Amino acid sequence: MANYNTQLTIDDCLKIGTQSCAEESQSNTEISFFSPSLRNSLYLCETLRSKILSLTINGCRLTICGMAELLQQLEQQAQALGFNMVGVVTAVPSPNLNAYLQWINAEMHGQMGYLARPDRLARRQDLNVILPGVQTIICVGLEYSTMPLPPAIANDPSRGRISNYAWGVDYHDVMTPRLEELAAWLKTQQPKSGVATKVYVDTGAILERDHAAAAGLGFTGKNTMLIAPKRGSFFFLGEILTTLEIRDWRTRPELVEGLETELISNLQSPISPMPSCGTCRRCLDACPTNAFPQPYVLDARRCISYLTIELKGWIPRELRPFMGNWVYGCDICQVVCPFNRFARKTDEVAFYPEDKWDSAAPPLLDLLSLNEAEFAERFAQSPIKRIKRTRLVRNACVAAGNWGSETAVPALVNLLSDPEPIIRGHAVWALQQIGGDEAELALEDLRKVEGDTAVLQELAFMQEKE
């Protein structure tokens, strides 16, 4: 190990470090600096990152090794697999964990009971429960924005709107194999150390947006989305948890153990500081169901994405008129975000709509007439398959009611004999919104034969209002 005890400039660091690396086997050199200049020492780390094994600053050891080189190779490997963003963060609980627990206690997660399960809370509180000995979370991002929906299509009430992330192939099927491949590559970097990994794509009991923000991928917006300043928020997240220790001082200089906080507070990191939403509140004001009780807090129970995807039961009557023609998800709070003017068209062809606008905004009459076999065939490769036919047709009924056209009445009347009570009940609501002789006659006939309590309540609701 080379040791230096002097007042060093950056030029001194580079000269001494380069000479030391040349003298000591060209690589994996250990250098110890005793210098008050933390900036110079860390600059040396970054500049000579392919040579230095470890650096000791004022008696505090900072392992570099090929760590910076490994980071560079990791970024290259991730990009080769199609990922647009990659970052690493120490595998510790999210700094916003308490806020998450308060959100759960306020029951804003609605019927997503899995979010509050004790075993899943335990994993969020200690990532070692997921992967014993976990050291690092590798976070990746994959952009999915394809093309803007023409206003004539987006504003056509006879079509059902689908969130743009679901226009193409299911992102789980696209990302998971690539993350597994990246994890396999990672294991080859230290084959004798028995590196373990765990891959997640929107499925793990971790607060992935918080971890991705800590890894430098973006910042949390008032709409609770992760926003990349130069990319917007139209990207998927995936993670690899690993027992391999990887550190990136560019995003977390405080990870240099033993260094006093005040010494690093003025350090200029090569990664630019993240911006924020500032005084902007476009997303909050644009939400038609008022799902944001305050900035950075989403009440899922009022969110259109939750209502159309996660909610398995009956959509609250008071919220149905505000859902417009959304039948799967909602993009409103993202579309209005100023940062999304920087959103780039994805290179991932799998995310583009196969049938162009009919995949992005299918005619409601088509959705209302779907049977089980047709649903399974049409959405076999889509994330929409997750909600099954019942929820999609339920959502289409609400959209048809908001459309208000008698054109939809025959299709809705046919659904009054559907075996699923939830579909019959929402068809009742839609027919009540549309009105007309045909709708009223069909509803009157249903009252004579309907035996489900919830459907009868829907039938009685409008009569009570009248």
User: How confident is the model over 437-460, as a mean pLDDT?
Assistant: 96
What DSSP line would sit under 162-216, residue for residue? E-GGGSSS-HHHHHHHHHHHHHHHHHHHSTTTT--EEEESS-SSS-HHHHHHHTT
User: How confident is the model over 208-217, as a mean pLDDT?
Assistant: 94
- The owner of tokens 């600053």 is 57
Higher model confidence: residue 371 or residue 464?
371
Instruction: For 25-45, write each residue's pLDDT tens digit.
Output: 444 444 444 444 444 455 455
Q: Residue 279: which pLDDT band, with cuts at 50, 70 and 90?
A: very high
Question: Quick check: 236 pLDDT over 60?
Answer: yes
User: How confident is the model over 193-204, as a mean pLDDT?
Assistant: 92
User: Would you call 286 exposed, middle or buried from its count of C-beta atoms within 10 A (0-12, 13-18, 19+)?
Assistant: middle
Average pLDDT of the residues of the chain: 85
Q: Residue 440: which pLDDT band, with cuts at 50, 70 and 90?
A: very high
User: How confident is the model over 135-162, as a mean pLDDT?
Assistant: 95
User: How confident is the model over 308-314, as a mean pLDDT?
Assistant: 97
Q: What whole-number distance in Å separates Cα of residue 35 and Cα of residue 50?
A: 22
User: How confident is the model over 123-152, as a mean pLDDT?
Assistant: 95
Q: Check residue 238 and give its pLDDT.
A: 97
Q: Check residue 251 and give its pLDDT.
A: 56
Higher model confidence: residue 394 or residue 18?
394
Question: Quick check: 202 pLDDT over 50?
Answer: yes
Q: Check residue 72 and give its pLDDT.
A: 83
- Give the other-Cβ count within 10 Å of 158's Cβ: 15
Nearest CA among 213, 214, 179 for reference residue 198:
179
Question: Quick check: 61 pLDDT over 50?
Answer: no
- Give the other-Cβ count within 10 Å of 133's Cβ: 13
- Give the other-Cβ count within 10 Å of 265's Cβ: 9
Exactly one of 12, 202, 366, 452 is catalytic; name it: 202
Higher model confidence: residue 394 or residue 95?
394
Q: How many helices (H) and strands (E) does the chain have?
A: 20, 12
Q: Check residue 390 and give its pLDDT.
A: 98
Q: Residue 313: which pLDDT band, with cuts at 50, 70 and 90?
A: very high
Q: Residue 245: which pLDDT band, with cuts at 50, 70 and 90?
A: confident
Question: Rg of the chain over CA atoms, in angstroms?
Answer: 27
Residue 210: active-site member: no
Q: Residue 466: which pLDDT band, with cuts at 50, 70 and 90?
A: low
Q: What whole-number distance in Å separates Cα of residue 206 and Cα of residue 410?
A: 46
Nearest CA among 459, 455, 417 for reference residue 440:
459
Instruction: For 73-132, write each residue's pLDDT tens digit.
Output: 899 999 999 999 999 999 999 999 999 999 999 999 999 999 999 999 999 999 999 999
Question: Quick check: 373 pLDDT over 50?
Answer: yes
Answering whether pTM is above 0.85, one says no
